[in-house]
């Protein structure tokens, strides 16, 4: 998987995120466009779809909700 996206917000909010604090996702913008590439027959359908994602950051890493664009 590869993706491009944006995460931005007020400097104080981004600093809190960078320090590993829990920050309400409504306080900043975090969107991506993931692209998948797999040789798996089972998951080959991922190679043929367009997706967008909303993300938020937890202290131990990002979490994404990925949606197929129909």
Per-domain boundaries in the chain = 2-68
The DSSP letter of residue 69 is: -
- CA 34 distance to own-chain centroid: 8
pLDDT of residue 4: 96
Distance CA(16)–CA(43), nearest Å, equals 37
DSSP 27-53: GSEEEEEEE-----STTGGGGG--EEE
pLDDT tens for the 70 residues of the chain, in order:
999 999 999 999 999 999 999 999 999 999 999 999 999 999 999 999 999 999 999 989 999 999 999 9
pLDDT of residue 65: 97
pTM assigned to the model: 0.83
CATH of span 2-68: 2.40.160.20
pLDDT of residue 50: 97
């Amino acid at each position: 998987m590869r993706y491009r996206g944006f995460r931005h917000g007020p400097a104080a909010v981004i600093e809190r995120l960078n320090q590993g604090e829990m920050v309400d996702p409504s306080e900043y913008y975090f969107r991506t466009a993931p692209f998948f590439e797999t040789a798996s027959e089972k998951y080959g359908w991922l190679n043929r779809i367009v997706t967008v994602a909303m993300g938020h950051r937890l202290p131990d890493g990002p979490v994404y909700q990925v949606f197929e664009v129909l």
